[in-house]
Structures are given as C-alpha cells and as structure tokens.
Amino acid sequence: MHMRSETACELSVVMPCLNEAETVAACVMAAWAGLSAIGVPGEVIVADNGSTDGSPQLAERSGARLVHILERGYGNALQAGMRAARGRYVVIADSDGSYDLCCLQPFWVRLQAGDALVIGTRLKGRILPHAMPALHRYLGNPMLTALANRLFGTHLSDYHCGMRAFERAAFLRLPLQARGMEFATEMIAQAALHGLSISEVAITYAPAGRSRPSHLRPWRDGLRHLCLMLRLYIQQRQRRTLPVAQRSG
C-alpha cells in the first residue's frame, strides 16, 4: 500500500523540521507505519528551512521526500510542504517525536466522513508527564483557545495542537499568510471564517524526544497568536459591514 513511486497518493504526511536530528528519522518511519496501518497510499514529506544538524539527510534516508524552504518559520515550512504535497488529504505533525504518527486512523475516519479539517486535541486526550509545561496546559493554551472560539465561532479544545489533518485543495484556497507558529491559529480561524467543517479527535501527547529546548518562545509566540486573532477578527467585521459589491476574499 505504500507509495514511494509515482502511483496514486491519497494522504500526504507533512512534517516541519528545524534541527530535529535526534527524532526526525523515527518520525518518518512512524509515518510510513501509520499509512500502512490504515492501508492508504501516501507519501511522507519533511519541510525543512535551514537545519544545520543533518536532519534533512536523515529524513531522506528514512524515506521522506524533502522540501527545502528558504524563509525560516513554522508557517512558511508548512505552507511549502502543503503546496508540494500530492495527496488529496494532508496530515501535519511535529518531527520531534511528540505525536503518535503510527496512529492516523482517527484522523482518516473524520476526513472520510467529510470534515475538511480535523484537529488533534491533547487537552481532551492524554498528556504524558513532562510533555507540556503547566503554564501552557493550564493557562496559555486554554485562554487563547477560549478567545479564539469566541472570535471565530468554533468549539475546539486545543487550538495549538500540531497534529491535524485536512483536505489539501480546500486549504490551498484559503488566504493563509502566517510565517511563524501563529500559523496554527490562522489555519483554524480561516477555515472557520470560510465555513469549512471542523472536528477534533483526542490524541496522546508525549515529551519531545530531543535533548534541546522547544522552538516555541511562549511569550513572543503567544503574542503573535493573539495579534493574528485580533487582526482576522477585525478584518472579518469590516468585511461584513461593507456593501456586498466591495467585499473580497
């Protein structure tokens, strides 16, 4: 069922990667195992923008297709990965070993049921010890999620989960622009503003398998999420108040 050649591709697993030499190979192999387990033809893509620790070579040797992006940033990497993907559907997940890529089934089931976006939820699933700092688990994530739910009319429990699945064509039509970590919020907000069907599935979150700290800079990135939410919300209100003839996007 694997697709390492030019045959049909239903599901692309896309992983952003910045210096994840300790974990990226295992993630690529887990993604292949996940595709095999659900019996869906697919591909594994690693989107890298500037790793200096040999991650790209390790990913490639484990069977991933590499996408190089010149501009830094999580959003830039994922957007390039999405564009390069060939699957009708895409699953994204970190390449740091924190998400269980062997377990694609719940995402696949929701995609087959017709959802355009399926978000993993760690807060309604399982968070293993030391996987998520208490500040993020009990304060940052729930507060930003509650605000985003209010602004965009969603009913989600984990706006910052990095494991999600979506229909590629639907996302390529959305005006996604975020370059950094705030891309996680932008994806959901724009999907909601454009009326796409969104669901969530409970997943397990494990500590990242690397020995250096996360790329996330909580205060700076939290602020970027907040600014993006407010900007999208204000834009949307302004568009609603414009006469129909002047609306765009």
Ligand X SMILES: Nc1nc2c(ncn2[C@@H]2O[C@H](COP(=O)(O)OP(=O)(O)O)[C@@H](O)[C@H]2O)c(=O)[nH]1
The whole-angstrom separation of Cα 79 and Cα 73 is 10
The whole-angstrom separation of Cα 185 and Cα 192 is 11
Q: Provide, rounded to whole angstroms, the least separation between the CB of residue 74 and ligand X.
A: 4
The whole-angstrom separation of Cα 125 and Cα 99 is 12
Helices (H), 132-217: 134, 141-152, 168-172, 183-193
Among the listed residues 104, 79, 2, the one whose alpha carbon sits nearest the alpha carbon of residue 43:
2
The amino acid that residue 80 corresponds to is: A
Q: Provide, rounded to whole angstroms, the least separation between the CB of residue 180 and ligand X.
A: 7
Binding ligand X (rule: CB under 6 A), the pick from 11, 13, 14, 17 is 17
Binding ligand X (rule: CB under 6 A), the pick from 2, 83, 137, 215 is 215
CB nearer to ligand X: pick between 46 and 193? 46
Judged by CB under 5 A, the stretch of 21-29, 75-83, 89-97, 185-193 that binds Mg ion is 89-97
3-state secondary structure 54-70: CHHHHHHHCCCEEEECC
Contact track, ligand X, 162-201, x by CB under 6 A: x---------------------------------------
Judged by CB under 6 A, the stretch of 32-40, 41-49, 186-194, 224-232 that binds ligand X is 41-49
Quote the distance between the C-alpha of residue 154 and its chain's center: 17
CB nearer to Mg ion: pick between 15 and 35? 15
Judged by CB under 6 A, the stretch of 5-13, 33-41, 47-55, 230-238 that binds ligand X is 47-55
The whole-angstrom separation of Cα 18 and Cα 96 is 9
Query: Do residues 5 and 37 lie in contact, with contact meaning Cβ atoms separated by under 8 Å?
Result: no
The whole-angstrom separation of Cα 202 and Cα 156 is 11
The values of phi and psi at residue 115, to 5°, are: -70, 140
CB nearer to ligand X: pick between 84 and 109? 84
Q: Provide, rounded to whole angstroms, the least separation between the CB of residue 77 and ligand X.
A: 3
Our finding on whether 43 is near Mg ion (CB under 5 A) is: no
Binding Mg ion (rule: CB under 5 A), the pick from 10, 43, 48, 94 is 94
Q: How many residues does the chain have?
A: 249
Per partner kind, with CB cut-offs from 5 to 8 A, the member of ligand X, Mg ion, none near residue 18 is ligand X
Q: Which residues bind ligand X (CB under 6 A)?
A: 16-18, 20, 47-49, 72-74, 77, 94-96, 162, 208, 214-216
Q: Which residues bind Mg ion (CB under 5 A)?
A: 94, 96, 98
